[in-house]
Amino acid sequence: MSLRHAVIALVFAALLPGALAAQTLSLGEAFRRAESGAYANRVAAAQARAQEAQASLALRGVLPSVRVEGGYVRTTDPLGAFGATLRQRVVTPAAFEPSRLNDPAAIGNVGSALVVEQPIFNADALFGRRAAARAGAAARASEDWARAGTQVDVVRAYYGAVLARERVTTLDSAASAAHAHQRVAESQHRNGLATKSDALLAAVRAGQVDADLIDARGAANLARAQLALVLGAPDDTNFALPAHLPDTAAISRLTGAASDDSLGDRADVRAARLALDAATADRQRATALLLPRVNSFGRLDWNSADTPFGGRNAWTAGIMVTWSPFSGGAELAERRTAAARRSAAVTMAEAAEARGRLELQEAANALEVALARAEITGRAVEQSGEAHRIVARKYEGGLATAVELFDAAAEETGSRLGFAAARYEAIVAVAQHRRASGQSLAVLTSLDDVER
C-alpha cells in the first residue's frame, strides 16, 4: 500500500466514527426500530402466536390422523398362540391336533400396523376450531393495541430526550447570561456603581444556574438511555437527536388529523369484540358435546415371526358412531361454564367501549389544554425576553436593582423552559389522542421534516 493510500485510510478511519455518531435519529426511524425491537411488542407478538397455535389443536377432530404401530409378543397361551399362527398364515392340518391346541409351544409374533383415522362429523371440534380462530384474532388485535401503546411510549421517550437536550441548550444560554450579569455587577462594584451585595447576589444566581445546567445534562443522558430502552436496545445510544422540539405551528397542523371524536378502529375494542365472538363459538362447542360423533378408520396389519412389516398384510376399515347423552353431567357443566364465560366476555366488550369513550374524552381535553398552554407559553417567551432586555438596560444605567435584573433573567429562562415543556406535552397529547381514537400515529413522523 502506498503512503498516499495509507494516509487516506487513516483519515477515513478517524472520520467514520464521528460520521456515524452524527447521524440523527428521526421519529420515523425510532418507530421502525421499536416495531421489531421493543420489548412490549416482542412479548405481544409471541403471545399472539401462542394463541393462534391453539387453533391447530381443534384440527384433531377435523383432519385425518396417521399412526404407525409395532410390537412383539411371545406366548404359550392357547388362544394367543393359535391366533398368532393364523395371523402369520402358517396354519397346517397338524395345527389342529388337540395336543398342540391345548399345550402349544411358545410362539413369537412381530405385529406392525399402519392406521388412518378420518373424522366425519364432530360438531364440537368444528365450533372449537372457530372459537380458537376468533381467540387468535383477538390476540392479534391485542398485539396491535400493545404496538400502538409502544408508539406512544416512543413519542414520549423520543421527544422527552429532545426536550432534555433543549433544556440543556436553554440553561447553557442562561448560564452565559448569568455570568455576564455577574461580570457587570462585579465591574460596577469595583467602580463604585453597585454594592457588594449586588456582586455577591450575581455570583449566587450564576451558581444556581450552573447547578441547574449540571442537572439538565445528567437528565439528558438518562433520557437518551430511556429512549434506547423503549426501542429495545438499551446498549445502543449511538445516535444524535434534533436540537429543538418542533414549533407550535407544526404541532398544531397535526390536530386536523387528530380531530376524530369516534373510537374508530381501536384495537382494544376490536380485541374485546373478537373475544366475545370466541366465547360465543365456545358456548356452541360446549352445546355440541351432546351430539353424536361419527368417525371412520382404516388399518393395514402385518404379522411375522421375526420381521417388522413382514408377511402378508390384512386390512380393516369401518365407521364408528359414539354418543354420550349423559356422562355424569360433565357436558352440562361444560355448557354452563362456557355460558358464564360468554357473559363475562359481553361485559368486557361493553367495558372496553365505555372505557374507550372516556379515554377519548380525556385525551381530547388534554390535547385542547396542551395546545392552549403551548400558545400561551410561546407568547410568554417573547414577553419575558423583552422584559429582561429592558431591565438589563435599566440596570446598566443604574435605574434597576440587581434583584430586578436577576428576577427578569430567571423569568425568561423559566418561560423558555416552560415553552419547551408545553410543546412536548402537546406532541404527547396528539399521540395519545390518536391512539384513543384508533388512528395511526404515523402522521407524527411529519415532524421529522420540520426545520428546527
Q: Are residues 364 and 315 in the same domain?
A: no
Q: Are residues 303 and 399 in the same domain?
A: no
Total structural domains in the chain? 2
pLDDT in tens, 58-100: 788 888 999 999 999 999 999 999 998 989 888 888 888 888 8
Q: Are residues 139 and 129 in the same domain?
A: yes
Kindly state whether residue 265 falls inside one of the protein's structural domains.
yes
pLDDT of residue 116: 95
Kindly state whether residue 97 falls inside one of the protein's structural domains.
yes
Q: Are residues 133 and 46 in the same domain?
A: yes
Average pLDDT over residues 140-155: 95
pLDDT in tens, 363-402: 999 999 999 999 999 999 999 999 989 988 887 777 887 7
Q: Are residues 414 and 428 in the same domain?
A: yes
pLDDT of residue 452: 47
Kindly state whether residue 6 falls inside one of the protein's structural domains.
no
Q: Are residues 228 and 190 in the same domain?
A: yes
- Full domain range(s) for residue 79: 70-120+294-324
Kindly state whether residue 202 falls inside one of the protein's structural domains.
yes
C-beta of residue 43 within 8 angstroms of C-beta of residue 149: no
Q: Are residues 248 and 348 in the same domain?
A: yes
C-alpha cell at 220: 439528558
pLDDT of residue 390: 92
Kindly state whether residue 262 falls inside one of the protein's structural domains.
yes
pTM strictly above 0.75: yes
Q: Are residues 169 and 106 in the same domain?
A: no
C-beta of residue 245 within 8 angstroms of C-beta of residue 420: yes
Q: Are residues 309 and 224 in the same domain?
A: no
Chain mean pLDDT for the chain: 88
Q: Are residues 271 and 402 in the same domain?
A: yes
Q: What CATH number is attached to the domain comprising 425?
A: 1.20.1600.10
Kindly state whether residue 105 falls inside one of the protein's structural domains.
yes
Q: Are residues 356 and 370 in the same domain?
A: yes
Kindly state whether residue 8 falls inside one of the protein's structural domains.
no
Kindly state whether residue 7 falls inside one of the protein's structural domains.
no
Cα separation of 246 and 446, whole Å? 10
Q: Which of 306, 324, 342 finishes a domain?
A: 324
Cα separation of 292 and 324, whole Å? 7
> Buried (b) or exposed (e) across 362-391, using 16+ Cβ within 10 A?
ebbebbeebbebbeebbebbeebeebbeeb
pLDDT in tens, 198-243: 788 888 888 999 999 999 999 999 999 999 999 999 998 889 999 9
Q: Is the pLDDT of residue 191 over 50?
A: yes
Q: Are residues 93 and 238 in the same domain?
A: no
Nearest to 132 by CA among 75, 204, 58, 192: 58
